[in-house]
Amino acid sequence: MNEVISTLIAGVLGLALGIVGVIAFRLSQARSSKLPQVDEPVLPEGAAAVLSVIGRAFVILDDVDGVVRANPASYAYGLVRGHTLVHNELLSLVRQVRADGVIAESQYELQRSTLGAGQLIVHVRVAPLGDEYILLLADDRTEITRTEAMRNDFVANVSHELKTPVGAIGLLAEAITEAADDPKAVRRFSTRMDKESRRLAALVQDIIELSRLQASDAIVQGQEVNIDSVVAEAVDRSHLIAEEKGITITVGGHLEEPILGDADLLMTAIRNLIDNAIRYSPEHTTVGVGIRQRDGYAQISVTDQGPGISPEEQERVFERFYRVDSARSRQTGGTGLGLSIVKHVLANHGGEVSLWSQPGHGSTFTLRLPLADEEPATSNALAGQTMKERTIEASASDREGGRR
């Protein structure tokens, strides 16, 4: 009997709760129907289709500067966070266009985030969109601007470097003419002229070589290269300047596995390192060249007994035209481009160049190149890059390289 009563009571309670739930749902619907309806932003006809294929970051703002629509690129650039346009410079331009209705454009250098990590150079165009909205278009000009700056810097440096030997040759030619009756003076001036002309020829050749390396087709198709043969040729081409200073070049080790690349470019890079070592080594010393395989890479090291390089200077020796000792470099005939060429050759081959040096204890430059039949973990990402991307990376990482 008690069980029957309990069951009836539970049924009544369940029914009551169900009725209460239905009443609450109906009241909620009635209350919702009285709220104002908020429409989605209505863009002018055809605007959405155009924006979807425009290929630039875009942001649409309402009359209170709220972001009503933005594409993923605008978030990736850090222009928009949530429903807010982040940068005050852009907000000021938007308000100016809203006030006068005239299309405006400008270029800004902005931070990608509030943490200040990374700079972004954007060209912005702001225009009214219909009667209610403002359209902001942004184009990333960071890489273009940096490339133009590097090009201008390079042209200025080249002009300065060419002016010195060209001016010296002109003065020496004039001196020879005036000293025509003095054979000793003529020989002295002609010797100096020959030195300056060779320096000018080397500089022009290095400029041509560096320009070729920065072209997107620097290495169209890599071929198997025997490192031992490349090193032997580089050493052979450096024997003349080594003999002039009584310097011995010793080669140790060998590598049977080939690498993929351009033999001429690799020979140029290794020869530049050897020439650099000879120029900065004291007379009657030794320059060592080591070859070995390690962790799926070919390693070629060039060691000198020169004055060494301080830690502060080591970060800059690969910059174009940078010299640790400018006076000494000019005296030895350095062009200021040798180490930059080395860096670009290695970048184009998916490798790297590193430096160990200590003042008073010489320097060692080491080239690391992936072997043809190996797949080192660190080279997988490089394998997916185009030649142009690797060259741009090398350019962006330095402030435009050079020799000590």
Task: Please give the Cα distance from 234 to 262 (Å, whole number).
Answer: 14
Maximum mean pLDDT: which of 168-182, 269-283, 345-359: 269-283
Fold of 49-140: Beta-Lactamase (3.30.450)
Per-residue pLDDT reduced to its tens digit, 304-330: 988 888 877 777 777 765 655 544 444
pLDDT at 206 over 80: no
Looking up tokens 């470019």, which residue turns up? 265
Q: Give me the pLDDT at residue 161, please.
A: 65
Of the CA atoms within 13 Å of residue 206, those in its CB half-sphere come to 28
Q: Give me the pLDDT at residue 14, please.
A: 62
Per-residue pLDDT reduced to its tens digit, 103-140: 999 998 887 655 445 678 889 999 998 788 999 999 88
Helix, strand or coil, per DSSP, at residue 368? strand
**Higher-confidence residue: 14 or 392?**
14
> What does DSSP say about strands 119-129 and 133-140: parallel, antiparallel, or unpaired?
antiparallel
Q: Give me the pLDDT at residue 37, please.
A: 46
**Higher-confidence residue: 128 or 397?**
128
Q: Give me the pLDDT at residue 138, please.
A: 92
Q: Give me the pLDDT at residue 264, please.
A: 84
**Higher-confidence residue: 141 or 53?**
141
For every residue of 259-312, DSSP letters joined together read: EEE-HHHHHHHHHHHHHHHHHHSPTT-EEEEEEEEETTEEEEEEE--S----HH
Closest C-alpha to 154, from 319, 357, 325: 319
- The architecture of the domain spanning 220-397 is 2-Layer Sandwich (3.30)
Give the confidence band of 18 by pLDDT, cuts at 50, 70, 90.
Answer: low
**Higher-confidence residue: 386 or 359?**
359
CB 262 within 8 A of CB 350: no
pLDDT at 93 over 90: yes
Mean pLDDT of all residues belonging to the chain: 76
Q: Give me the pLDDT at residue 35, please.
A: 43
Facing residues of 61 across strands?
67, 134
Closest C-alpha to 222, from 345, 340, 338, 353: 345
What average pLDDT does the segment 215-222 reach? 52
The first and second tokens of residue 159, run together, are: 């002009």
Find the helix packing angle between 338-348 and 263-280, rounded to 10°. 150
The first and second tokens of residue 70, run together, are: 């933005």
CB atoms within 10 A of CB 371: 20
CB 308 within 8 A of CB 357: yes
Task: Please give the Cα distance from 165 to 371 (Å, whole number).
Answer: 41
What average pLDDT does the segment 142-171 reach? 73
Give the confidence band of 7 by pLDDT, cuts at 50, 70, 90.
Answer: low
> For 394, which DSSP code?
H
Q: Give me the pLDDT at residue 232, please.
A: 93
Task: Please give the Cα distance from 267 to 265 (Å, whole number).
Answer: 5
What average pLDDT does the segment 15-27 reach? 63
Per-residue pLDDT reduced to its tens digit, 219-263: 555 688 899 999 999 999 888 888 889 999 999 998 888 888 888
**Percent of all residues in the chain with a pLDDT value above 70, rounded to a whole number:** 67
> For 123, which DSSP code?
E
pLDDT at 274 over 90: yes
Task: Please give the Cα distance from 58 to 68 (Å, whole number).
Answer: 11
Sign of the Cα pseudo-torsion (178, 182, 186, 189, in order): negative
Q: Give me the pLDDT at residue 380, please.
A: 40
CB 312 within 8 A of CB 332: no
Q: Give me the pLDDT at residue 195, please.
A: 78
Q: Where are the domains of the chain?
A: 49-140, 220-397
Facing residues of 276 across strands?
none
Q: Give me the pLDDT at residue 391, please.
A: 41
Q: Give me the pLDDT at residue 40, please.
A: 54
Q: Give me the pLDDT at residue 55, please.
A: 76
113, 301, 308 from 78: Cα distances, Å: 6, 44, 44
Q: Give me the pLDDT at residue 229, please.
A: 93
Give the least confident one: 167-176, 348-357, 384-393.
384-393
Task: Please give the Cα distance from 265 to 271 (Å, whole number).
Answer: 10
Q: Give me the pLDDT at residue 390, please.
A: 42
Maximum mean pLDDT: which of 19-33, 298-312, 320-334: 298-312
